[in-house]
Chains A and B, each alone.
Chain A
Amino acid sequence: MFDLLTQPWPWYIAGPIVGLTVPMLLIMGGKMFGISENLRHACAACNIGNVEFFNYDWKKNGAWNLTFLIGVVFGGFLGGYIFANPEPIQLAASTINDLRELGITDFTGFVPAELFTWEVLGSGTGLIVLVLGGFLVGFGARYAGGCTSGHAISGLSDLQLASLIAVIGFFIGGLLMTWFIYPIIL
């Protein structure tokens, strides 16, 4: 049993569980699955500068989702700390070669030590990845009206054309970054 919890799960086990989150939340209380809404709720809770977009009852609209988010953190603690997989991720050899050429050397964790430590914040590369990356995720998710969960999973599950356009956008941005911009940054 412990092995089952520490081993990585294959895509055909993980995919359906992720998909079941959609009906689970709908049945629990008619809620639409979407993580990035929580960033808006957090802004609404602070409401710095009295911006109209954040003037709404975040407790009424967002308490369930913020609770879900606390669960995600806790699930991360269980899955990535308590039942952490001791082995490195089985990545495609071509990806490892590519990343080696870009200067990534540590493949042991979920994230590369070259980019995800407090020390690298002092370097330009660290700042770009962590600060600009985070900013674009937050800005882009609200501009597009959802992130991977809200558009790619929830929206496409409901056959929303808007979500399909958004997901195409996700890939335009992602491919540009991976193939053209990242090689310049690293």
Chain B
Amino acid sequence: MISAKDFLKYLSAGTLFGFVLMKSEVVSWFRIQEMFRFDSFHMYGIIGLAIFVGLISVQIIKRKNVKDLEGNIITIPPKDPKQVTRYIVGGSMFGLGWALLGACPGPMFALLGSGITIIIVPILAALAGTWTYGALRTKLPH
């Protein structure tokens, strides 16, 4: 299923990400309320700088044909921008949930680790939402 080496690799990357989510308070329901009220630069600074650093890294990786640790050239599959409906409607539904719950998927799991056990309820609800999308997918406009 996954080698011990891969397990440790991805586990460490996830641990670092979860740790930063906590230390930067991105996991906080309050920070999300503050962000959507435009009351603080905090969240915008984090997301903006994350995109900036990601953008530069991805451009270097693409232009220099960088290989991954397994020796394969890194390719990034493009997303189809013609499916506007799914991005606007699906995105808005996600946004409603993000502001209501005050957490997106990463923070939900980091909060679970921090000992806020009630977050199991929204995690199960998110699984139900994912399943419902899968069941209705062919009937929804994309």
Contact = CB atoms under 8 A, between A and B. Distances in A.
Given A63-B6, A91-B31, A166-B87, 9 more contacts: A20-B57, A72-B21, A76-B21, A76-B113, A134-B129, A141-B104, A141-B129, A144-B90, A154-B54
Given A14-B46, A76-B109, A129 B9 contact: no
B110 A75 contact: yes
Contact of A95 (B22, B39, B57): B39
A153 to B, nearest CB: 5
B112 A73 contact: yes
Contact of A64 (B10, B117, B118): B10
17 contacts: A16-B50, A18-B47, A21-B17, A43-B131, A71-B13, A71-B14, A74-B113, A75-B113, A91-B34, A107-B30, A116-B118, A128-B100, A141-B105, A145-B86, A148-B105, A162-B80, A179-B36
Interface in A49-64: 49, 51-54, 59, 63-64
B: interface residue count bin: 35 or more
B126 A138 contact: yes
A95 B30 contact: yes
B14 A69 contact: yes
Nearest to B95: A173
A77 B117 CA distance: 12
A1 interface: no
Given A69-B14, A118-B118, A156-B54, A26 B30 contact: no
Contacts of A177: 36, 95-96, 98-100
A169 interface: yes
Contacts of B77: 32
Contact of B28 (A110, A168, A178): A110
A134 B126 contact: yes
Nearest to B83: A162
Interface residues of A, number: 131
Contacts of A18: 17, 20-21, 24, 26, 46-47, 49-50
A140 B76 contact: no
Contacts of A28: 9-10, 13, 68-69
Contacts of A53: 133-135, 137
Nearest to A65: B10
B100 A129 contact: yes
A138 B91 contact: no
A116 B114 CA distance: 13
A174 B108 CA distance: 17
A75 B134 contact: no
Contacts of B24: 8-11, 13-15, 18
B29 A110 contact: yes
Given A19-B51, A67-B10, A162-B83, A134 B17 contact: no
B61 A26 contact: yes
B45 A11 contact: yes
B40 A73 contact: no
Contacts of B112: 73, 76
